[in-house]
Amino acid sequence: MHLMKTLCGIAMETPLGKSTARNTKAIQPAQGSGLFSLSPELRNNIYEEVLVDAKNIEIPKDGKLIRPPLLKTCRQIAEEASTIFYGLNTFKSTHNRLEGLPLWFARLPMKLRRSINVIDLCYETETEMNNLAHEHKTESALGYGPSEQIFSDYAEERMMSANKKFLNAALQMALMGLDLNAFRLPPQP
């Protein structure tokens, strides 16, 4: 009977993921932790070295949040370093992956949304354009491909479609609080 009471008591407790006044504690530096004994400025330098990537970070098509392992180690590090990660990195999305961009942005807390400075929007990848040009060249050489004008019209149609997707994503994200100056649009191909 005692075991049943204990199990029922455990089942009635608040789940770990939900914060309440009872189970929420203030963020306190770990005693004896080498990282937290450093000044905030030094910790920020370390976070910057670890979290800022020289390459653009691809925004997932499914809109899942991007959380580097360091941000998962403890609440204090996540609190101190998240704005560095989101504010100093350049994020990237192509027009073929834009449906995940507003979802990804909506999942970010407002503080992190406001810290984003650059989102590069790109047209088809170079590989896609090269494949399209190669197909056209091959079909033309064999004598059954579309004319140069049809190929040019098709490429322009794809670019117009991409522009519409960019505008739609930008509008959705502006409505959620993104400064539109964060977008860097690609040059027209």
Each residue's pLDDT tens digit, 128-143: 666 677 776 777 777 7
Contacts 24+ apart (CB under 8 A), 63-69: 63/99, 63/100, 63/101, 63/102, 63/103, 63/104, 63/106, 63/107, 64/100, 64/104, 64/107, 65/104, 65/107, 65/108, 66/104
105 located within any domain: yes
Q: What pLDDT does residue 41 have? A: 96
25 located within any domain: no
How far is Cα 79 from Cα 99, in angstroms, rounded to an integer?
28
Count of H helices and E strands in the chain? 7, 4
6 located within any domain: no
> How many domains would you assign to the chain?
1
11 located within any domain: no
> Which residue range(s) make up the domain with 180?
35-184
26 located within any domain: no
pLDDT in tens, 19-53: 444 444 445 555 556 899 999 999 999 999 999 99
Average pLDDT over residues 44-64: 93
pTM reported for the whole predicted model: 0.64
162 located within any domain: yes
121 located within any domain: yes
23 located within any domain: no
- Write down the mean pLDDT value for the chain: 76
